[in-house]
Every structure is written in structure tokens, then in C-alpha cells.
Amino acid sequence: MARPTPELIHALRVTAQKLKNGTHYQWGHMGGCNCGNLAQELTKLSKDQIHRYAMERYGDWSKQVDDYCSSSQMPIDLIINEMITNGLTIEDLKHLEKLNDREVLLRLPLEKRYLKHNVRDDVVTYLNTWAGLLEDQLLQKIVLPSINDLQPA
């Protein structure tokens, strides 16, 4: 599961909001699909740039991340590397493209867990739910001092 950071949580929520507000979405377009839209937010590249870079190698996002090499200078590998640097894992990217991470889905009501990977509203639901999960994980790491730990001035 992704490393919960405020920046990643923000990127997930911004991506969800942009999709909700009608930004380009096309599941078969490497820059306009589930991963492509998040990649736009994390890398600040355009959907067309991401798509063009991905087309230098064969396959959808799942295949691209399977072939990912951290030391490669292939543009798609640089994009994937940037996403990993922002806290994501290879598995996160695979799950995002199919909307099928078990931890994310378990946070949804039972009747809402059957998301379709190529439906904009389902992507928005998944991204917001994932952001909420990461936020909860981040907040659990925060330890405030107890009143007994405070030294009198």
C-alpha cells in the first residue's frame, strides 16, 4: 500500500475532483485513464505527453509497470519513478488501473464495492476512498504528547 503523505493524499483528491468536474477521461488512453490522470497531477505532464511516452513501449499501465526499470531512462519509466517517489507502489498502480485494491474496496459499503474500472464516477469514488484510507493511516502515525509529558515552564 502507498506511503501515506499529505502530498499524495492531496494529489488523489485533486485528481478525483478534476475527474468529477469533467476533465478528459478515457480508459484506453494512457494519459487520460485512471493512472494517467493521477500521473498528470503528480508529474505535471499533459495527458498527451504521458500517452506519447507510454507508446514508446508496448502495453497498458499494468504491462508498463511490469516492465518498469528504475534505472531506465525511458520516459514512461521516469513517470512511473516519479509516481513511486510520491509514495505509490507498483501494486498501487496496477490496482488503480483496475480499481481493485482490497483495502480500498473494504471501506465502501458492500453494495458499492463492485466498481467498474472504466467508469469515471467509479474512479472518483475509488480515489476519494483511497485518499481517506491513506489519511487515516497518516493520522494514526501522529502521536501527541500527553499532559504528563509536558514540562512546566
Q: What is the Cα–Cα distance from 151 to 153, expressed in whole angstroms?
A: 6
Which tens digits make up the pLDDT trace of 51-62? 999 988 888 888
| Mean pLDDT across the chain | 91
The answer to whether position 58 is within a domain reads yes
Is 80 exceeded by the pLDDT of residue 89?
A: yes
The answer to whether position 40 is within a domain reads yes
**So what's the pLDDT on residue 13?**
98
The answer to whether position 153 is within a domain reads no
With cut-offs at 50, 70 and 90, classify the pLDDT of residue 150: low
Of residues 12 and 73, the one with the higher pLDDT is: 12
The burial class, CB within 10 Å (0-12 / 13-18 / 19+), for 24 is middle
Is 80 exceeded by the pLDDT of residue 85?
A: yes
The answer to whether position 147 is within a domain reads no
Do 130 and 15 form a contact (C-beta atoms < 8 A)?
no
The answer to whether position 148 is within a domain reads no
Which tens digits make up the pLDDT trace of 117-145? 999 999 999 999 999 999 999 988 877 77
**So what's the pLDDT on residue 153?**
59
Domain tally for the chain?
A: 1
Q: Is 130 helix (H, G, I), strand (E, B) or coil?
A: helix
Domain that holds residue 64: 6-140
Q: Give me the percent of the chain exceeding a pLDDT of 90.
A: 66
The answer to whether position 151 is within a domain reads no
For the chain, give percent helix, strand, coil, nearest 5.
Answer: 60, 0, 40
The answer to whether position 152 is within a domain reads no
The answer to whether position 70 is within a domain reads yes
> What is the sign, positive or negative, of the torsion defined by CA atoms of 102, 107, 111, 116?
negative
With cut-offs at 50, 70 and 90, classify the pLDDT of residue 110: very high
